[in-house]
């Protein structure tokens, strides 16, 4: 983060932009925003107002800090906007939807049919799983619980492995068991965006600790149930709409969640709570208006 801050600071001093646009809650976003603060560069934050209310998550601190130093706050939902209001943030808030949905709609309609990967799912009916968060994969007991749940799942699992997760699984002696369970778990290398969208679209159910996937699953072109392997989520709208369910990180909780989801025949909403695919247009309009006024 220090390196990002230092180099971004130099770039901002050299280029003197009228605005810095950042999206999300990563360390990169926070470091770049702090550099902008030091150079008096206004900040516009896309995905503002997301809150898990879980202080163990580094991202929770990142997004809170960025929101409180931003001039423009692009909230994906009214719930996110309400979070910003309750914290008395000083920037101007605009509810725009999320660009994640823009991307999903565009690329599932135009590219997923051509998406190719050297590793195809060998199961017709499968659960797509991902795990990468530090609080999950860096905790030996938690990672063990997740691995055991995957091995005991009532449906086969397709698991693209994040490098960090693969390393931790090997360190704990869990990787071999997953790799050898050919009829239960298929391990895949990290995938590009289009192949992964195709896996989501063709899956029966999604099991993940990712925040972005919780949103992508609500896109009208995907519409999948998501089980969140965490104890909290900054995407409560997906839960309220019926797309997502927080199941925790224990084997029992995950397996019970899978069983309930597979038995749930309630139709999913046809619209996403995260927008209609025009978030980018709304954000651009606000930016153009703001820059004209300056």
**What pLDDT does 113 receive?**
52
Q: So which residues are the catalytic ones?
A: 132
For the domain 2-97+277-293, what is the CATH superfamily, name and number? Glycogen Phosphorylase B; (3.40.50.2000)
190-203 as b/e, with b when 16 or more CB fall inside 10 Å?
ebeebbbbbbbbbb
Structure tokens at 19: 């605005």
Structure tokens at 179: 């790799």
Count of other CB atoms within 10 angstroms of residue 71: 16
Structure tokens at 272: 């996403």
| Block residue for tokens 């994040």 | 162
Structure tokens at 80: 């996110």
Chain centroid to CA 57: how far?
A: 13
pTM of this prediction? 0.91
Q: Are 225 and 147 in contact (CB under 8 A)?
A: no
Q: Are 216 and 195 in contact (CB under 8 A)?
A: no
Q: Are 272 and 218 in contact (CB under 8 A)?
A: yes
pLDDT, tens digit (0-9, with 9 covering 90-100), for 106-159: 998 765 455 545 567 899 999 999 999 989 999 999 999 999 999 999 999 999
Residues of the chain with confidence (pLDDT) below 50: 112, 116
DSSP string, 188-219: E----HHHHHHHHHH-SEEEE--HHHHHHTTS
Please give the Cα distance from 87 to 67 (Å, whole number): 10
**What pLDDT does 112 receive?**
46
CATH topology of domain 108-263: Rossmann fold (3.40.50)
**What pLDDT does 165 receive?**
96
Pairing of strands 185-188, 92-95: unpaired
Closest CA to 156 of 174, 175, 178: 178
Q: Residues in the chain, how many?
A: 294
Task: For the chain, give every residue range classified as CATH 3.40.50.2000.
Answer: 2-97+277-293, 108-263
Please give the Cα distance from 81 to 74 (Å, whole number): 8
Please give the Cα distance from 109 to 202 (Å, whole number): 14
Q: Are 279 and 106 in contact (CB under 8 A)?
A: no
**What pLDDT does 198 receive?**
92
Indicate the helix (H) or strand (E) that contains 58: helix 58-69
pLDDT, tens digit (0-9, with 9 covering 90-100), for 237-270: 999 999 999 999 999 999 999 999 999 999 999 9
């Amino acid at each position: 983060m220090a390196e990002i801050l230092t180099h971004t600071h130099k770039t901002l001093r050299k280029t003197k932009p009228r605005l810095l646009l950042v999206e999300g809650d990563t360390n990169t976003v926070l470091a770049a925003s702090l550099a902008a603060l030091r150079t008096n560069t206004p900040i516009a934050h896309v995905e503002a107002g997301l809150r898990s209310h879980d202080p163990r998550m580094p991202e929770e601190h990142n997004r809170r800090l960025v929101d409180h130093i931003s001039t423009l706050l692009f909230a994906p939902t009214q719930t996110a906007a309400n979070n910003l209001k309750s914290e008395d943030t000083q920037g101007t808030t605009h509810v725009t939807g999320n660009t994640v949905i823009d991307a999903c709609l565009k690329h599932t309609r135009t590219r997923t049919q051509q998406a190719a990967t050297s590793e195809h799912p060998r199961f017709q009916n499968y659960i797509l799983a991902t795990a990468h968060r530090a609080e999950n994969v860096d905790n030996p007991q938690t990672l063990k619980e997740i691995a055991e749940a995957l091995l005991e799942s009532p449906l086969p699992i397709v698991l693209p492995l994040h490098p960090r997760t693969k390393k931790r699984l090997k360190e704990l002696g869990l990787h071999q068991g997953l790799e050898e369970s050919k009829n239960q778990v298929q391990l895949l290398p990290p995938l590009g965006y289009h192949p992964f969208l195709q896996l989501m679209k063709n899956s029966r159910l999604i099991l993940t600790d990712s925040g972005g996937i919780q949103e992508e699953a609500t896109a009208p072109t995907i519409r999948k149930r998501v089980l969140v392997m965490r104890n909290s989520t900054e995407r409560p709208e997906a839960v309220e709409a019926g797309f997502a369910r927080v199941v925790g990180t224990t084997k029992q909780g995950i397996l019970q969640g899978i069983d309930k989801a597979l038995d749930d025949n309630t139709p999913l909403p046809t619209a996403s709570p995260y927008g209609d695919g025009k978030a980018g247009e709304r954000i651009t309009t606000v930016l153009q208006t703001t820059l004209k006024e300056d």
